[in-house]
Amino acid sequence: MHSAILTLFPEAIRPYLDESILGIAQSQGNLRVDLVDFRNYTLDPHRTVDDRPFGGGPGMVLKPEPIFAAVEDLERTHGAFHKILLCPRGRTFGQARARELSRMERLLFLCGRYEGYDERIRAGFAWEEISLGDFVLAGGELAAMVVLEAAVRLIPGVLGCAESAVLESFEGELLDYPLYTRPREFRGMPVPDVLMSGDHKAVARWRLEQARTLTAHKREQAQVPPAAPDTH
């Protein structure tokens, strides 16, 4: 996979890209990441990437010119990218979409900053808009790392154990079952006997039951509305 990340802070995310799963994927040749500072595509002496919104209002808005120039330059050089705009308007990201993205040859992420994007950036390209949830970050860099890592770890050969990507939370719509390792007892908390039984069918049944119970509990919690604030 070839990924390009358009950001004003490439040095802030480079260390993370070079470590752990993303670093391994790059060393294997399964991933290439280009960090593109779109400030380099400005034409004025001050390298301006934002300006005040027309009509008034708070904050600053990312200008279209440098972002258009950066995207067009990348696609002229490397070919078409599947383009991802990280923003609160987007569809909430999930494991199923991560698996679909893992099969794509080229991904381009645009990391926003300030108050938002000039709307012509949205209109000028075919973006997939992705959100991590109903909250706001200072910029799109962390969101880009989340989406990229979730996709890359599903590329065949990236994980040391291919089975890990199948038997985990949200694959098959169930949360992962509880995991234990040595010591067998720690501070009065023992490992469940079934895991020490050597009965693989019993272990499989226990894990499935646990996964179903945890998933049902999570869904129940999600349906309970938050408590009203105390106004007294």
* pLDDT tens-digit series, residues 28-54: 999 999 999 999 999 999 999 999 999
Residues 52 and 103 in one domain: yes
- Please give the torsion angle defined by the CA atoms of residues 38, 39, 41 and 43, in that order, rounded to the nearest 10 degrees: 160
Check residue 115 and give its pLDDT.
87
Q: For the segment 40-90, what is each residue's pLDDT rounded down to a tens digit? A: 999 999 999 999 999 999 999 999 999 999 999 999 999 999 999 999 899
Residues 59 and 135 in one domain: yes
- pLDDT averaged over every residue in the chain: 92
Check residue 167 and give its pLDDT.
52
Look at residue 38 and tell me if it is in a domain.
Answer: yes
Residues 118 and 43 in one domain: yes
Q: What residue numbers bound the domain in which 146 lies?
A: 2-152
Look at residue 29 and tell me if it is in a domain.
Answer: yes
Residues 33 and 80 in one domain: yes
Residues 99 and 201 in one domain: no
Look at residue 168 and tell me if it is in a domain.
Answer: no
Residues 196 and 131 in one domain: no
Q: Which of 11, 123, 15 is nearest to 67 (CA)?
A: 123
Split into its structural domains, the chain has a count of: 2
Look at residue 189 and tell me if it is in a domain.
Answer: yes
Residue 125: CATH number of its domain: 3.40.1280.10
Check residue 161 and give its pLDDT.
66
The contacts of residue 168 (CB under 8 Å, 6+ apart) are 176
Look at residue 160 and tell me if it is in a domain.
Answer: no
Look at residue 162 and tell me if it is in a domain.
Answer: no
3-state SS, residue 3:
strand
- Residues of the chain with confidence (pLDDT) below 70: 161-172, 224-232
CA atoms within 13 A on the CB side of 65: 11
Residues 95 and 58 in one domain: yes
Q: Which of 114, 111, 117 is nearest to 35 (CA)?
A: 111
Residue 209: CATH number of its domain: 1.10.1270.20
Q: Report whether 189 contacts 136 (CB < 8 A).
A: no
Cα angle 110, 69, 71; round to 5? 40
Residues 80 and 148 in one domain: yes
Look at residue 169 and tell me if it is in a domain.
Answer: no
Residues 70 and 100 in one domain: yes
Count Cβ atoms below 10 Å from residue 153 Cβ, excluding itself: 19
Look at residue 231 and tell me if it is in a domain.
Answer: no
Residues 135 and 183 in one domain: no
Residues 8 and 67 in one domain: yes
